[in-house]
Structure 1
Amino acid sequence: MLTDTQIKKAKPAEKPFKLSDAGGLHLYVTPAGGKLWRLKYRFGGKEKLLSIGPYPAVSLLDARTARDDAKSVLRQGKDPGVAKKLQRLVVTKASADTFEIVAREWFELNKVKWVDHHAGDVIRSLEVDVFPHVGHIPIREIKAPEVLAVLRLIEKRPAVDTARRVRQRMSAVFVYAISSGRADSDPAAVVLGAMAPVKKGRQPAVIDLAEAREIVRRVEEEVAHPATKLAHRLLALTALRPGAIVSTPWVELNAIEDGIWIVPSTRMKLRKAQKEDGDRDHLVPMSRQAMEVVEALRSLTGRGPLAFPNTRHAHLPMSENAIGYLLNRAGYHHRHVPHGWRSTFSSVMNERFRGDGDVIELMLAHVNRDRVAGAYNRALHLERRRELAQLWADIILEGRPLAVDLLKGPRK
C-alpha cells in the first residue's frame, strides 16, 4: 500500500507509470509530473478505469474513500463510471438553477392569472430589487441571511411595504423550487419575523398644488389602459373614495341631471368608511371636465353595466389597485396613493377658500355631527359646491388635454 512519502518522492519519467495502492486504486504519474488517482475495475465483463482526481488536491485518504464508494456502487450492480457522470450532470443542473432562472420560470407560469399591470410590477420588483443581488446564485444555496440582506436594502430606502411584497414573491419562488425538486427549504419564510414592522398611519398624499398638477401629468403620460387613466382623472376631480369610483355602474352616470351625480347611500355603505358617511345619498357636483371624462369613458365601456370594469372579467369592477399601480409606475410609490386625492383636495381648497370649510367637508361626504344642521347645509350649499367643484377642476387640470385625448395616449 502507498504512503504519502512515496507519493511525494515519485518523480516523472519519460513514460507514464503507475504506483499501486490496493483494490485497483493506483496513482498515474505523467511525464509532465502530473499525479492522477485512478481506479481499475470490471463491470459487465469489461475492464474499466474511473478517474478520481489529481494529487494533492485529492489526498491518499480521499482517494481510498472514493475507491470504497465506487466498490459500494459496484455491489449494487451499477457502473461507478456512469454513476459519476450522472452525479456530474445533477451538480451541473443544480448550479444552472439559479434564483433568477427559477424565478422567471415561476413568473411565466403564474402571470396568466394576473392583470398586466400587476404582472409587470411583480417582474420589475424582482429585476430591480432581487436579481442584481442573488439572481446568479443557485437557488438551493441561498439561505435566510442572503434573503434578509436583500430585504434590508429595500427597507432602508425606506420602502417597508415593498420589502414585504418582495419577500412574499421570493417565498413563492422558493416554494415553487421545492415542489420541482430544486430547493429544500424556503428561507424567505424564515426571515418574516426579522423584518422591519409596518408603521400604520395616514395614507401618503401630496398636498401642494404644483406637485398635484405634476401627478396628473405624469400619470397621464404613463403607458396604461385609457379606462384606468380616466378613473384616476375622475378620482382627482371628484375627491370620492377610490372604491366608490371603480365600482360605479353606468346607471348612475346615465342618471346625472343638472350636473349632479347621486351616489346612493347603499353604495356608500359598502365602503370601509360607512360610519363616517352615514346613511344618506352623496351628491357629487360634476365640473365640466368631470362630465368630459364620463363622455370619453362612454366610448370605452358604455355598453356594459360598469363604468370601470375589470379588464379580464367585465362583470366585475376594476380593482382599486389598478389606480394605485398606475401612480406607483408614475413615481409616486409611498408618496401619493389614490385615497390621497381627498387630502389633496381638502388641503388645497381649504387653503384657498378658508371660509368654505363646511362646504368642503360636505363635498368629501363627511358627516356633520348635528344631523339636522347637516341636512340643512347640504341643501344650502349645493350651488357653492358646484362652484368649488369647477374651480378645483380648473386649477388641478390647468394645461392638461381634454379627457378624450386620453383615449389616444400610450396604452397597454
Structure 2
Amino acid sequence: MGKGLTDTAIRAIKAVEKLTRFWDSAGLYLEVTPAGGKRWRIKYYFGGKEKRLSLGCYPQITLKLARERRDEIRSKVAQGIDPSVERQAVKAALVAQESTLEVVAREWHLKHHPNWAESHSDTILRRLERDIFPWLGGRPIAEVTAPELLAVLRKVENRAPHTAHREFYVCSQIWRYAGATGRAQRDITYDLRGALAPVKRNHYPAVTNPQGVGQILRLIWNYSGSPVVCAALKIAPYIFVRPGELRTMQWADIDWQAREWRFTLSKTRQPHIVPLAVQVVAILRELEPITGRGDFVFPSGRGGGRPMSDGAILAALRTLGIPKAMMTGHSWRATARTVLDETLNFRVEWIEHQLGHSVRDSLGRAYNRTSFLPERRQMMQTWADYLDRLS
C-alpha cells in the first residue's frame, strides 16, 4: 500500500470548487464537498462489479479508524461477503425491530400519556403488556393480520367483554399511529368492526326523585365516622365531581376570596373551576383546623401525606345502609345532571361544562374553563339550596 493521506494533509484541505476526492490507499479516499464537508468512502470490487461504501465523516471518523474499517471491508470481500448487501440486511433488520407492534405501541403510549391521568395511562400500558404484547408484540406491526388480532381480542372477550372493546379501541389508535409514521399500510381494525359481541353499558346508579335524594342526604348528615370522611360525604352532593377528584382536593387549589376550587380534571387533563356554594365553604372551614396543615383536604387516615383511599366514601355509604345498586360516590353526577336539567331548568351547556364534559359552541370551539362562570356560580348555589331543602 502507498503512503496515502496524513492527518496534517487532511486538516490543510480547505475550500474546493467542486466535489473532489483525495485518495489514501487500497480503495480508501476522502470526499470533500464545496461546502467543506469531508467524508470517507471506499471503492471495492465484488463479482466483477465496482461498488462503493460510505465509512463516515471526518473528523468524527479519524484517518486511523477509517483505515481499520477499510481493512474490515476488504477482509469480508476476500471471504466472499458483499459488505454493501450485508449493510442493507442489517439496516432492514433494525427497521423491522423498530417496527414491531410492541415498539410502536410503547412509542404511541409515550407520545400520549402526558395528556392522560396517571391511572388511565397505567391501565392502558398494563392491558397491552398483559393481553397484546405476549402474543403479537414481537411481530412487525405491518405483518399482523386482522384475524390474528381478532384471535387475541377473543381471549380477552371471553374473560372481560368490556375490556376487549376498550383494547380494540386502543389497538385502532396504535395502528393509525403506525400508519402515520410509515410503519403500517392501513388500520386493520377497520376489518374487525362488529366482530366483537356488543356489550350492555352499565350506567352508574343514581336517585333522582326528591324523596329518595332527601332520604340519602339525611343519612349522610347523620354519619358519625371520621371528620374527614364525614366532610367528604357532605361535600360530594354539592359539587358532584368525580370521586377521584374529590379525594385528591388540595388546600392550595381553593380560592377563598373567589369561592372557587381550581384544579385539573382527571379524565381530560384540562383546567376546571368549581364555584363553591356557601354551604361548601362552611364545611371546608370546619375541616381546615383538622387537615389544613397538610396538602390534601381529605388525607388518608394512615398518614404518609396521601389522600384518602378510593373506597373510603363507598365504604361509608355501605355503613349507612345505602346499597351499591342505589348510590355510589360517582352517582351524584348523574343525579345533578338530571335534576338541574329537568327540575331546576338550568341550561344543559352550563350543566355539562360544570360536569367537566367537552362542550362546544355553534362554531365547534371548546368553551374554556371560565365560560358561563357567573351563571354556573348561581347554578351551584341554587343546587346547594335545593339539596338543603330536601334534607
Q: TM-score, normalised by structure 2?
A: 0.46
Q: TM-score, normalised by structure 1?
A: 0.43
- Larger RCO (alpha carbons 8 Å, 6+ apart): 1
**Higher Rg:** 1
**Bigger helix share:** 1
